Amino acid sequence: MTGRIEVGRSQPPVTLPARLLNELGEHARETHPEECCGLLTGPSIGAHEFLHRCRNEMTKLHQQDPGTFPRDGRKAFHMSEIDYLRVQKLADERGHRVTAVYHSHADAGAYFSELDQDYARQPAFPFPEADHIVVSVVDGLYREAAIFRQTEAGRFEGRSLISEAP
């Protein structure tokens, strides 16, 4: 692992509907100082239409077994399996798919950490083609969002995420 992946500032930003970017920021602010998490769905990879909040169960897991789960919800997320299976079922019923996994970084930047990369690369990861969105919230205020996409070579590249012009 080469460390965390920063946003490639020389690359053009990726646009997201303003409604979705606002919902991402709102969810991140509401859960601060813990990380939020959830999924975006749409008709095809890269097409994001619906946001689905999921529960971050990391603090509960940390309290039950700190040896296995050394971080709590302020430094990591563990998406509720019940929640993501519900979202997957709803997407399937609509003829959609999960197009992005999102989470926030509390009082930190919008980068793709080594832990984030390990999560995305694990063999049992249920959404291998999905984008990864990281929302930065500092002192309870939305700061920025970034999107990380896996290349054909298996590396992740980060780009700024901005809202579409109305």
- What's the mean pLDDT when you consider all of the chain? 94
Q: Dump pLDDT digits (tens) for 71-124.
A: 999 999 999 999 999 999 999 999 999 999 999 999 999 999 999 999 898 888
**How long, in residues, is the chain?**
166
CA nearest neighbour of 50 among 24, 28, 32, 79: 24
Cα–Cα distance measured from residue 106 to residue 110, given in angstroms and rounded to the nearest whole number: 10
Cα–Cα distance measured from residue 117 to residue 146, given in angstroms and rounded to the nearest whole number: 14
* CATH topology (fold) of 14-163: Cytidine Deaminase; domain 2 (3.40.140)
**Concatenated DSSP letters for 92-120?**
HHHT-EEEEEEEEEETS-S-B-HHHHHHH
Q: Dump pLDDT digits (tens) for 36-53.
A: 999 999 999 889 999 999
- What are the structural domain ranges in the chain? 14-163
Structure tokens at 59: 């603090």
Dihedral angle sign, alpha carbons of residues 59, 61, 65, 69: negative
